[in-house]
Structure 1
Amino acid sequence: MFRRFACATSALALCSAASGTALAQSAPQATALDDVVVTAARTALPRSALPATVELIDRAAVEQQSALGASAVETVAALIPSFSPTRQKLSGFGETLRGRSPLFLVDGIPQSTPLRDDSRDGFTIDSFFIDRVEVIFGSNAIQGIGATGGVINYVTAATPREAAGFSGRVQALTTFDADTFGDSAGYKVAAIGGQDFGRFDLTVGAAYEARGVYYDGEGRRIGFDGTQGELQDSVSWSLFAKGGVDLGPNRRLEAMVNHFTLEGDGDYVTVAGTRATGLPTSAVRGTPPGLQPSNEVTSAVLAYSDAGVFGGTLRAQLFAHDYAGVFGGGTFGTFQDPAIAPVGTLFDQSGNNSEKLGFKVEWEGPVAPVTGLRALVGLDGLRDTTNQELVLTGRDWVPLTQYESLAPFLQLNQRLADGRLHLSGGLRFESVTLSVDDFQTLWTYGPQQVAGGSPGFEELLANLGATYELTPGLLVYGSWAQGFNMADVGRVLRGINTPGQDVDTFLDIAPVVTDNFEAGLEYTRGGFEGSAAVFRSNTDKGSRLVLVGGVYEVAREATEIQGLELTARYTVNADLRFGGAYSHLEGRSDTDGDGVVDRDLDGANISPDRMLLWAEADHGDLSLRVQAQRLFARDFEGQVAENSFEGYGLIDAIGVWHAGFGDVSVGVQNLLGEQYVTYYSDVQRPGDNLSYYAGRGRTVTLGLTRRF
């Protein structure tokens, strides 16, 4: 079930709970929406108290999309129109939420690498272990740094506390191109199970997936992104464990560990296409040099909750995250050094490494003697240590950089008019220090000796919101919330090519503070549920990606993004449902520094307008879902004509037979075999024929899932 919620987008901690436009659901459910908790929002309030937008993709919808062979990121992109269409690659570079970068979490653990953003944070967990996905829209500081577009939290599976004995599920899938079986065939096997032993419960799981080669709608192999990394022709495996112990009627201690590894097989090399004639990049069998691109991620969290502290609930979390990503190599000019090999001959490749340690402590409860007033107060701490190395020669490209922050926060919510009116507001104070030791840049930049330093900043982030229930079933809301991020300091540090620089004076670490204004309404009557939201997101000193000499650099300039989101759903009866969603985005930036935005944001920074339509029907043991998406054409004022987007439409179908021995599924992506070039490939690098990638053609996934 994919549900539309209303939620207070706050710079601190928001809310949980929900309202209702279901955009993906295997069967209608009677859900007490005010009891649903969005854990990424860090507090629980009734739907009527929460004045902005959150969407929940529940387990049924995640499993339904997995019948198409979809990853967690592809599930989000398929069901949320204001999230960019995916690149169908390991890199999520250019994939945004409402035109800005989202913060990916796993059970509240940040997965991003903001000091050297390599855009792989969407692929850190297997979707088989995800119970639901929580999406909080718009710039906010709910979870600290990084959520300028919103928050995407993967909530992992837990042991059913009401189940008796050992329970779980196993799954086997195979995916292949409908017209070219052969090397397109891949498979996945996964299992998860657990038991509630009374005071103690434990769940464990494992997943393994081997992916085949992708083919486009005209039967050609799709080209490989040998630098940023691929999903096709790759192998991934994942281990998962989650357990908890009840320390009393109101106290619980819980731990989770997730390990995920994905690595390319290295069986193909790319053949350039021809943009001028519309011939996409392809691939032939061969062995690319060097190590294959990979992701290796381990996340762990220890959480404690006590619902009997000073009349409220105390929650504490300690987390760790270890990420290592390897990228493809080449004899790029940047990597050359005559002390190692003749210029033009040195092959190397980079690896990005990030280690995080952090904690979150918060208390939430009523504030006496003010009737209807609730407070959330807490403290967050984070240490992120990141460097980017050249893995074959052992050189540092981005020096070891350490980010440390402490952030106390306070959020208040006041209930008035018998609960029909809610007012909310809060503050979060971020105190940040960035530490870099003395370092030397690569030979191509001089090399330069750069003195280290410890620049920092302090930022007070605020939010205000209000909701009002005009009549039963009709809610209106409005909010203003601030979020923040940092420019990609790693890109800046590694490219210093002027003598005599030091980090304290050279590096601009002023945060990218975004102001998100939002207003909306939600309406429910009978079988109809609908919502509408308008928003505007501004920043005076943004972080826009600019292509310079074939490499993206960071431009600090004002940006403005505004948009509209609509959803609708109608339940005809218990066996028939249909609905849709639409997102419109506009974005501009100030490229000449005069304080006035003067040019459209390009496709690396903003996604196209998109419409989603779907219908579901059940008949006995059979279920069918058909979903369609339309990406609308877009021109970019101030950009080259070659980067205009023509648009395209796709249809998917999912059928499930609920048999006695398990659920047998057939999923078909791109049902009509549409030939298209993916959005990012179409709107970027007009002179690059190696990165002109088509999208996948008609692809079939056969699956069997058995619960026990």
Structure 2
Amino acid sequence: MRRNISILLAGVACVAAPMARADEAGIFAGGDIVVSATRSALPSNALPLTIDVIDAESLAQQAAISGSVVDAVATLVPSFSPTRQKLSGSGETLRGRSPLFAINGIPQSTPLRDGSRDGFTIDPFFVERVELIYGSNALQGIGGTGGIVNQVTVGAPKTDGVSGRFLAQGTADDGFSEDGIGGKTAGLVGYRMGRFDATVGATYEKRGAFYDGKGRRIGVDSTQGETQDSDSWSLFGRFGYQLDDTARLDLIANRFELEGDGDYVVVPGSRATGLPASAERGDPPGQPATNRTESVSLSLTDTDLAGGDFVSQVFFNRSRDTFGGDPEPIETFQDASIAPEGTLFDQSQNRSRKLGGKFSYERTVPGFEALTAILGFDALFDKTEQRLIATNRTWVPPTDFRSLAPFAQLNLALFDEKLRLAGGLRHEMARIKVDDYTTLASYGSHAVKGGAPKFSDTLFNGGVIVEPVDGIRAFVSYAEGYTMPDVGRITRAVSREGVDIDDFLDISPIVSNNREIGVEINKGPLDASVSYFWSTSKKGQRLVFVGGVYEVERQRVEIEGLELNVAVRTPVPGLTLSTGYAHLVGRADSDEDGKVDIDLDGANISPDRLNLAAAFAYGPVTARVQTQVYFSRTFEGDDPRNDFGGYTLTDATVRYVTRFGGISLSVQNLFDKQYISYNSQVQRPTDNLRFFAGRGRTWTLGWDYQF
């Protein structure tokens, strides 16, 4: 009977991403780790991929320092861009390309009109670990051209009865300014009885104003959105039922909302003199920037269905990203038929809704147990639009996207698993549907004929893994990734008559490939990895600043880089030293002659970086000191005013566990470094409103308790 239920639900679900069932590991983890984002029950050392896992303890440390998952990833991963310390993550990349953010495999990104809010869709209090897969691949479908950042939520209670944990913390700038004080409370309660379990939780966070290293308020980006001067709250629920020893149902729901308070207006800085923008009390126009995301998923997993591992999931995800009003009227929004030129105020809102499902079945091939096979099918339906909410105009027309993708993977173990051959393919069948629409007046009020172009492509991956002795492995791999360009930026910017969406090539998909050579060592006190990669996309995308907003240009893009990570457990009990380094080079074809001729600028690629850290864990004490060195950089073919000068930041955190819970003290920017953020240094060389400093020394005192 139970088998019939499994088969029935598989047919109804049509799908899915593996749920949390991996062992915990550190950021330089090796060994037999099962990572759900890989869509395989095989351990990570059996796959030709660069994979890292940020475990619960490491994530909690970073969240205490900076407050978000995306900041944790940006701090720990050398090839990830420095964060903007804003609500928007525009320009933040992994290996020079946009990563796919996911929660339990559910995509949070909105590639059809990238609002860049996908790093703020769940509170880190509900995240058990973060799985990172580097480089282009199609494991999770659309969006993974730079890699995958999969946030795995807290698991089910392990024992019968009631369990839970609570968190309370306060944050202040170095001067303990009244308006710089913030705080957070969070709680999670689990209950398990027999086959049934439930976990529910809620968080609330109030963030104050941010101050730089010279004690000045940091300027507010009222348009793209702020994490400073904001309130956020999140609700989480997980309800599970164990059908038998191997099969389980899980219903998981999450709602996250972050809204700016709108208490400040920007005070222009001066790029010429190096004075950053600041903020003063005031009433910005329009509605404050807001990010709201809701998701629900139902999964069925069975680790022994006909001798194999079956995973299925159906999900619904909805997001609404409201962008604030610019303090100066944006040229793109002007329409003389509504108001005199240069006076019209407006602001935009992205609305996206996804419905999808995933299915995979993995087992060894009967009679040939050295060969493991995975068969699967993914489906995604996404509807996205962008409206100007002050005047009720359509900026990006409603766009329907449909993706259907069967896939298969093989993994062959030879010579007692010392050699593995892995490979597979995924066939993407996509369709984009756009109705007839008219562009804004600033683009010429052009009538555009809608259409429903279809695209299909078969994406390949393959690799060889050699592990001559336990703990030492080398691999070479090739993998293709797939995403859509920012269709919204393209369709809204049509500037000529006679365009028909059915044959408008600029909305064709981006297919990127990633070639990689890597070596990893996990022996004794040493965890180390080095990898060299290069990726290309014949028709990629590059963000170009036009008329006060960024638009998309489709160009050939080539990226290559080197990554190195080393962690050593020292003879001192509990002390680990680590370092990481990333070197990236990105080039684009600006004149469309088939050859790259200019550097990718800072809006599209991150600087080279060196990470240094010392971590200590002994008895009731854990502590960490970490430094990130961002090296200076020039960009050939770009305005020299956008060159990056580099900077160095250091953070620290310490936690002591008592019978009454854990007490922690964390410091961001320990030496109170005054600096201009990477994003502000490398973009908009004449914009004094968005010339932002980074946060100065910031203190966070926290208390957490588990039972």
Range of TM-score over shorter length: over 0.9
Q: Is the CA contact (8 Å cut-off) linking 2:21 and 2:36 kept in structure 1? A: no
Q: Is the CA contact (8 Å cut-off) linking 2:331 and 2:547 kept in structure 1? A: no
Correspondence 1:186-585 to 2 at 5 A: 186-330=182-326, 331-572=329-570, 573-585=572-584
Residue 73 (str. 1) matches residue 70 (str. 2) = yes
Q: How much does 1:591 deviate?
A: 1.0
Residue 666 (str. 1) matches residue 665 (str. 2) = yes
SS in structure 2 of the partner of residue 276 of structure 1: coil
Distance of 2:477 and 2:170 partners within structure 1: 45
Deviations 1:341-376 (A, max 9, x none): 333322111000000000111111111222301110
C-alpha change, 1:465 and 1:422, in structure 2 (3 Å) is: same
Q: How much does 1:60 deviate?
A: 0.7
Q: Is the CA contact (8 Å cut-off) linking 1:21 and 1:567 kept in structure 2? A: no
C-alpha change, 1:19 and 1:640, in structure 2 (3 Å) is: farther
**One-letter identity of the residue aligned with 1:56:** V
Q: How much does 1:642 deviate?
A: 0.9
Distance of 1:173 and 1:644 partners within structure 2: 38
Deviations 1:502-556 (A, max 9, x none): 2112353221111100111111332112111111111111111112233211111
Q: Is the CA contact (8 Å cut-off) linking 1:20 and 1:529 kept in structure 2? A: no
Q: Is the CA contact (8 Å cut-off) linking 1:21 and 1:531 kept in structure 2? A: no
Deviations 1:40-66 (A, max 9, x none): 111111344211201100101111112
Q: Is the CA contact (8 Å cut-off) linking 2:17 and 2:104 kept in structure 1? A: no
Distance of 1:581 and 1:32 partners within structure 2: 15
Distance of 1:531 and 1:389 partners within structure 2: 46
Distance of 2:115 and 2:574 partners within structure 1: 44
SS in structure 2 of the partner of residue 274 of structure 1: coil
SS in structure 1 of the partner of residue 188 of structure 2: strand
Distance of 1:634 and 1:530 partners within structure 2: 27
Deviations 1:115-170 (A, max 9, x none): 11111111100011000000100000011111110000111012232x34211111
TM-score between both structures, scaled by the size of structure 1: 0.95
Distance of 1:529 and 1:485 partners within structure 2: 33
Distance of 2:659 and 2:699 partners within structure 1: 23
Q: Is the CA contact (8 Å cut-off) linking 1:186 and 1:210 kept in structure 2? A: yes
Distance of 2:382 and 2:60 partners within structure 1: 33
Distance of 1:74 and 1:512 partners within structure 2: 27
Aligned-pair identity (%): 52
Distance of 1:663 and 1:544 partners within structure 2: 46
Flag structure 1 segments of 5+ consecutive residues without an equivalent: 1-11, 25-30
Distance of 1:13 and 1:438 partners within structure 2: 36
Distance of 2:260 and 2:669 partners within structure 1: 24
**One-letter identity of the residue aligned with 2:455:** F
2:58 paired residue among 47, 61, 64: 61
Distance of 2:441 and 2:615 partners within structure 1: 59
After the TM superposition, which parts of structure 1 deviate over 6 Å for at least 4 consecutive aligned residues? 12-21
Deviates more, 1:453-462 or 1:610-619: 610-619
Match of 1:177 in 2: 173
**One-letter identity of the residue aligned with 1:503:** I
**One-letter identity of the residue aligned with 1:123:** F
Distance of 1:137 and 1:23 partners within structure 2: 13
Q: Is the CA contact (8 Å cut-off) linking 1:20 and 1:524 kept in structure 2? A: no
C-alpha change, 1:189 and 1:550, in structure 2 (3 Å) is: same
Distance of 1:582 and 1:385 partners within structure 2: 39
C-alpha change, 1:65 and 1:151, in structure 2 (3 Å) is: same
C-alpha change, 1:101 and 1:45, in structure 2 (3 Å) is: same
Q: State the number of aligned residues.
A: 689
Q: How much does 1:665 deviate?
A: 0.6
Q: Is the CA contact (8 Å cut-off) linking 1:544 and 1:555 kept in structure 2? A: yes
Q: Is the CA contact (8 Å cut-off) linking 1:559 and 1:590 kept in structure 2? A: yes
Residue 96 (str. 1) matches residue 93 (str. 2) = yes
Match of 1:148 in 2: 145
Distance of 2:435 and 2:619 partners within structure 1: 66
Q: Is the CA contact (8 Å cut-off) linking 2:35 and 2:44 kept in structure 1? A: no
Match of 1:625 in 2: 624
The two structures, once aligned, show a CA RMSD in angstroms of: 1.9
Deviations 1:475-502 (A, max 9, x none): 1111000001111111111122322322
SS in structure 2 of the partner of residue 354 of structure 1: strand
Residue 645 (str. 1) matches residue 644 (str. 2) = yes
Deviates more, 1:337-346 or 1:535-544: 337-346
C-alpha change, 1:69 and 1:419, in structure 2 (3 Å) is: same
C-alpha change, 1:633 and 1:69, in structure 2 (3 Å) is: closer
Distance of 2:19 and 2:173 partners within structure 1: 43
Distance of 1:571 and 1:131 partners within structure 2: 24
**One-letter identity of the residue aligned with 2:48:** P
Distance of 1:501 and 1:595 partners within structure 2: 24
TM-score between both structures, scaled by the size of structure 2: 0.95
Q: Is the CA contact (8 Å cut-off) linking 1:49 and 1:421 kept in structure 2? A: no
Distance of 1:353 and 1:282 partners within structure 2: 31
SS in structure 2 of the partner of residue 67 of structure 1: helix
Q: How much does 1:442 deviate?
A: 1.8
Match of 2:12 in 1: none
2:80 paired residue among 83, 89, 95: 83
C-alpha change, 1:483 and 1:594, in structure 2 (3 Å) is: same
Residue 600 (str. 1) matches residue 599 (str. 2) = yes
Q: Is the CA contact (8 Å cut-off) linking 1:56 and 1:135 kept in structure 2? A: yes
Deviates more, 1:504-513 or 1:111-120: 504-513
C-alpha change, 1:332 and 1:47, in structure 2 (3 Å) is: closer
Distance of 2:347 and 2:20 partners within structure 1: 43
Match of 1:130 in 2: 127
**One-letter identity of the residue aligned with 2:123:** D
Q: Is the CA contact (8 Å cut-off) linking 2:493 and 2:551 kept in structure 1? A: no
Match of 1:46 in 2: 43
Flag structure 2 segments of 5+ consecutive residues without an equivalent: 1-15
Deviations 1:265-322 (A, max 9, x none): 0000001100111100111110101100000100111000123333212211100100
Q: How much does 1:447 deviate?
A: 1.6
Residue 613 (str. 1) matches residue 612 (str. 2) = yes
Q: Is the CA contact (8 Å cut-off) linking 2:17 and 2:358 kept in structure 1? A: no
SS in structure 1 of the partner of residue 671 of structure 2: coil
Q: Is the CA contact (8 Å cut-off) linking 1:57 and 1:132 kept in structure 2? A: yes
Q: Is the CA contact (8 Å cut-off) linking 1:133 and 1:152 kept in structure 2? A: yes
Q: How much does 1:184 deviate?
A: 0.6
Distance of 1:703 and 1:276 partners within structure 2: 41
Q: Is the CA contact (8 Å cut-off) linking 2:23 and 2:34 kept in structure 1? A: no
Distance of 2:547 and 2:124 partners within structure 1: 37
C-alpha change, 1:158 and 1:394, in structure 2 (3 Å) is: same
Distance of 2:620 and 2:408 partners within structure 1: 50
SS in structure 1 of the partner of residue 272 of structure 2: helix
Q: How much does 1:178 deviate?
A: 1.2
Q: How much does 1:619 deviate?
A: 5.2
Q: How much does 1:700 deviate?
A: 0.3
**One-letter identity of the residue aligned with 1:248:** D
Deviations 1:367-407 (A, max 9, x none): 12223011100110000000000112211111110000100
Distance of 1:543 and 1:143 partners within structure 2: 21
